[in-house]
Amino acid sequence: MTATSLRSHTAKDLAQMARQHGIPGWHSMRKDELIGALSSVARKRMSPRRQPGGESPPKKTALSEISSQNGSAKQKSETPPHIRHDILVMQQKKAVLKNLALNDSSKFDQDREDRLVVMVRDPYWLHAHWSLSQPSIDRAQAAMGQRWHHSQPTLRVFRIMEAGSTVLDRDIAIHGGVSNWYVDVTDPPCSFRMEIGYLSADGTFYTLARSNCVQTPSPDANETVDENWSDVAENADRIFAMSGGYTPQGTSRELQEILETRLHRPLGSPMHTRYGNGAAMDSNSGLELAVDAEVTIFGVTSRTAHVTLKGVPINVRPDGTFSAKLKLTEQRQVIPIVASASDGVEQRTVILALDRNTKVMEPLFRDISKPT
C-alpha cells in the first residue's frame, strides 16, 4: 500500500480504511492527510518481522479486507441448501400432478393408442377411464409452448342433444397419478361424451383423447350398480350395456377392450364371443330357456284406509303405502284396487288392465366350422 495506490481511492474509502486501522482523528482528516496516515501505517507493518527465508508474510491491504467482507456477505445471502431442496421437491410434485401419462408400463400396453373410455355407473354417475402415453404428453407440451406452464389437466364433459350436436356441459380439473375419474351428471336420461387434455389460462384446450358416447338410464329404470370399481366384475354386462355396448350403432371398441382386459373374459353375446372347439363340446347338451313373469303393484293412500286387490285385503303400512305381487299369466287381466275410508263414507277404485303375450321363436344355430 503506497501513496500512489492510495490516491486512486476516494476520500470515503480512505476514511473507511483509516477507521479500520484505528488511526485517531480520521473523521476530521482531509484526503492528503488520510493518505499520509495510511502510508505511515503501511510502512510500520512492512518493516518489522521477516520470515526465516527472508520473505515477508503476505499482508492484506485494507481494500482487500473490504472486498473479502463483501464476498462473504454475498455468500451469506445465497439460498440455504435445505430451502433449495424443498423447492426442488415441490417442482417435482407439481410435474407429477400435471403429467397424465402413467409411468407404470405394466398397466397398459405402450403400443396401444391413447384412449378415453366412459362407463355408466347409474343415472347420476359416469366413470371415465384413460390410457395416455408419455410421447403424447410431450407433444402437448411442445404444441402449447408458453401456455403449457399455466395449463391445467382437464376432463371436458359434453352433453349430446337430440339433434346430435354437442354442448359443453362443464370442465373438470383433474391431476396426474391416476387413470380414472368419477363424474356426476344431472337430468337423466341423457347422452354424454368426454374429452381429456390440457386447458390453458386463455381458454385454449389441447385434446389428447375423445371418449365413446353413453346414455344414462332413467332414475326408475332400476339399473343402478354399486359405486366401487371392484363390483364392476359382477355387473360388467350391465355396465357394458348402459355404456352403449349393445346399441344399434355398434359396440365401442375401446370400452370392450378395457373391460375384457381387466376382467379377463369376453363381453357380449356368446354368439359373438365364443370360438374354437370349446363351443362344440357343449353343442349336444341342449339349451333350455324358460321365462315367466310377475308384476308388482304399489301405491299410496290414507294410512287408516282399507285396501283390497281383486277383493283380497292388502296391508297398508303406517306411512300409507302398500304393495303386492301378482303372477302375470298368459291372458288379459283386469285388476281392481279399492280403497275405503275407515268411517265407510268414501271409496275410491282404480282398475289396471294387464295383457301378457309370450312368443317363443325358433332356435338359431351357428356353424362353428366357419370362421367368423
Higher pLDDT, 196 or 277: 196
User: Do 256 and 301 belong to one domain?
Assistant: no
- Is residue 86 situated within a structural domain? no
Q: What is the pLDDT of residue 62?
A: 53
User: Do 187 and 245 belong to one domain?
Assistant: yes
Residue range of the domain that includes 348: 294-355
* % of the chain at pLDDT higher than 70: 70
- Is residue 140 situated within a structural domain? yes
* Coil, helix or strand at residue 98: helix
Q: What is the pLDDT of residue 149?
A: 92
User: Do 217 and 124 belong to one domain?
Assistant: yes
- Is residue 47 situated within a structural domain? yes
Domain boundary among 77, 107, 135: 77
Please list, residue by residue across 108-120, b when 16 or more beta carbons sit within 10 angstroms of its beta carbon and e when fewer do: beeeeebbbbbbb
Residue 167 has pLDDT above 50, yes or no: yes
Name 117's bridge partners. 129
User: Do 151 and 254 belong to one domain?
Assistant: yes
Residue type, 1: M
User: Do 65 and 163 belong to one domain?
Assistant: no
| Segment 209-261, tens digit of pLDDT | 999 999 998 887 555 444 444 555 556 666 666 666 655 555 566 667 766 66
Residue 61 has pLDDT above 60, yes or no: no
Residue 278 has pLDDT above 50, yes or no: no
Q: What is the pLDDT of residue 263?
A: 59
User: Do 221 and 160 belong to one domain?
Assistant: yes
Domain boundary among 29, 50, 77: 77
- Is residue 106 situated within a structural domain? no
Please say whether the beta carbons of 7 and 30 come within 8 A.
no
User: Do 123 and 223 belong to one domain?
Assistant: yes
User: Do 120 and 251 belong to one domain?
Assistant: yes
User: Do 180 and 66 belong to one domain?
Assistant: no
Residue 107 has pLDDT above 50, yes or no: no
Nearest 10 degrees: Cα torsion 6, 11, 16, 22: 70
Higher pLDDT, 301 or 74: 301
| CATH number for the domain harbouring residue 319 | 2.60.40.10
Q: Which three cell numbers stand for residue 88?
A: 426442488
| Segment 197-206, tens digit of pLDDT | 999 999 999 9
User: Do 301 and 257 belong to one domain?
Assistant: no
Q: Which three cell numbers stand for residue 185?
A: 351428471
Q: Which three cell numbers stand for residue 268?
A: 357380449
Dist CA 126 CA 326 (whole Å): 35
Domain boundary among 77, 102, 124: 77
What is the mean pLDDT of the segment spanning 49-63? Answer: 53
DSSP letter assigned to residue 83: H
Please say whether the beta carbons of 2 and 36 come within 8 A.
no
User: Do 125 and 178 belong to one domain?
Assistant: yes
Nearest 10 degrees: Cα torsion 339, 342, 344, 350: -10
- Is residue 281 situated within a structural domain? no
- Is residue 242 situated within a structural domain? yes
Higher pLDDT, 81 or 110: 81
Dist CA 95 CA 85 (whole Å): 15
- Is residue 21 situated within a structural domain? yes
Count the domains in the chain: 3
- Is residue 159 situated within a structural domain? yes
User: Do 71 and 153 belong to one domain?
Assistant: no
Residue 110 has pLDDT above 70, yes or no: no
Q: What is the pLDDT of residue 229?
A: 45
Give the model's confidence band at 355: pLDDT under 50 very low, under 70 low, under 90 confident, else very high: very high
Instruction: Provide the mean pLDDT of the chain.
Output: 79
Give the model's confidence band at 269: pLDDT under 50 very low, under 70 low, under 90 confident, else very high: low
Give the model's confidence band at 297: pLDDT under 50 very low, under 70 low, under 90 confident, else very high: very high
